[in-house]
């Protein structure tokens, strides 16, 4: 056989072999090492809500998730089907419950590093941390979505999701610009009590929405690796040009307490009636909360502010 014919035969064999591999077979590097899949996973367990969200966006229902009931309260969207099993808490999932589900892929983050070897005995384990020191949450969440799309043969869907988010962000930015509402910074806060708020920092997930909307974050300091700091209301006062956006939930009776609070009534944003309120958004999720925040924040700013929470 000629050298040319041998070469053509080898190329054909490689091509036929590639066609015979499952679409999602492959090897991926991750925070826990190397993950190799010989076939597309069908039974997946997610040990945090960012991973749960990514799977649901891709149209894949996990067989088990951590803190299943809490997801419905704090994340809510995309909706988690009722039949999904709970496998314990996010900080201490039950290995027995996970094993009983017979998963062929487990998705987790570095918080579960001590249990990684035990998880790998149950099923191949993909470790990615959306939230860690020095990370950019939206970028990491996008990477997770894209990689899971590759593993599950849903690359096109992952690309479509990210493209839709980009389109939404651009649409909301244009709405704000047309209304002349990008001129003042915004402070995004959750109330801890009548004196203290969790304020979202430039290193958090929400910053991606602010950047895309052309809005300046009123709080200039870095927060913890989750992207927030807990401060007193008086800490917001020096940022006189800022608007205050309160993210639900708020405690019953808070409006009455704030109305009598010198710390609250002193704030320039309160005096200008530039206090806005939006529904709860999970600040430690994946890519989807950025889309939700951009839309709700834009709607709220366009609707106009007040001098108190509802």
Give yes or no: residues 220 and 292 share one domain. Answer: yes
**CATH code assigned at 256:** 3.40.50.1980
| pTM for this model (two decimals) | 0.87
Q: Please give the residue range of the domain that contains residue 223.
A: 181-303
Question: Where among 90, 113, 129 does a domain terminate?
Answer: 129
- Could you read off the pLDDT tens digit of each residue along the chain, which spans 310 residues? 444 544 444 444 434 344 444 455 799 999 888 999 999 999 999 999 999 999 999 999 999 999 999 998 889 899 999 999 999 988 889 999 999 999 999 999 988 767 778 999 999 999 999 998 888 999 999 999 999 999 999 999 999 999 999 999 999 999 999 999 999 999 999 999 999 999 999 999 999 999 999 999 999 999 998 999 999 999 999 999 999 999 999 999 999 999 999 999 999 999 999 999 999 999 999 999 999 999 999 999 999 999 999 8
Query: Considering its fold, how many domains does the chain have in total?
Result: 2
**Residue 18 belongs to some domain of the structure:** no
**Residue 193 belongs to some domain of the structure:** yes
Task: State the Cα–Cα distance between residues 266 and 307, nearest whole angstrom.
Answer: 11
Task: State the Cα–Cα distance between residues 189 and 42, nearest whole angstrom.
Answer: 39
Strand arrangement of the beta sheet that strand 243-247 belongs to: 228-232, 196-200, 186-191, 243-247, 275-278
Give yes or no: residues 194 and 299 share one domain. Answer: yes
Whole-number Cα distances in Å, 233 to 198, 229, 300, 308: 10, 12, 21, 13
Give yes or no: residues 83 and 192 share one domain. Answer: no
């Amino acid at each position: 056989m000629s050298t040319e014919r041998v070469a053509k035969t080898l190329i054909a064999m490689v091509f036929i072999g590639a066609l015979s591999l499952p679409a999602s077979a492959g090897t991926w590097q991750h925070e826990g090492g190397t993950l190799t899949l010989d076939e597309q996973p069908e039974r997946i367990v997610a040990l945090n809500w960012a991973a749960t969200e990514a799977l649901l966006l891709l149209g894949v229902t996990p067989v088990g998730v951590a803190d299943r009931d809490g997801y419905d309260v704090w994340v809510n969207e995309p909706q988690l089907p009722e039949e999904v099993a709970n496998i314990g808490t996010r900080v201490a999932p039950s290995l027995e419950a996970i094993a009983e589900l017979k998963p062929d892929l487990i998705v987790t983050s570095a918080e579960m590093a001590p249990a990684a070897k035990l998880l790998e005995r149950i099923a191949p384990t993909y470790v990615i941390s959306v939230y860690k020191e020095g990370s950019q949450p939206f970028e990491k969440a996008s990477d997770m979505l894209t990689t899971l799309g590759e593993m599950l043969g849903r690359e096109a869907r992952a690309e479509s999701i990210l493209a839709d988010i980009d389109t939404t962000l651009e649409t909301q930015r244009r709405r704000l610009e047309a209304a002349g509402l990008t001129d003042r910074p915004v402070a995004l806060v959750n109330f801890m009590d009548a004196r203290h708020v969790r304020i979202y920092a430039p290193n958090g997930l929400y910053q991606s929405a602010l950047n895309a909307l052309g809005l300046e974050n009123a709080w200039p300091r870095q927060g913890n690796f989750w992207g927030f700091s807990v401060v007193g209301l008086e800490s917001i006062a020096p940022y006189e040009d800022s608007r205050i956006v309160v993210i639900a939930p708020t405690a019953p009776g808070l409006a009455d307490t704030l109305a009598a609070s010198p710390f609250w009534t002193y704030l320039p944003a309160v005096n200008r009636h530039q206090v806005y309120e939006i529904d709860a958004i999970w600040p430690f999720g994946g890519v989807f909360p950025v889309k939700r925040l951009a839309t709700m924040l834009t709607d709220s700013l366009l609707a106009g502010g007040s001098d108190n929470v509802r």
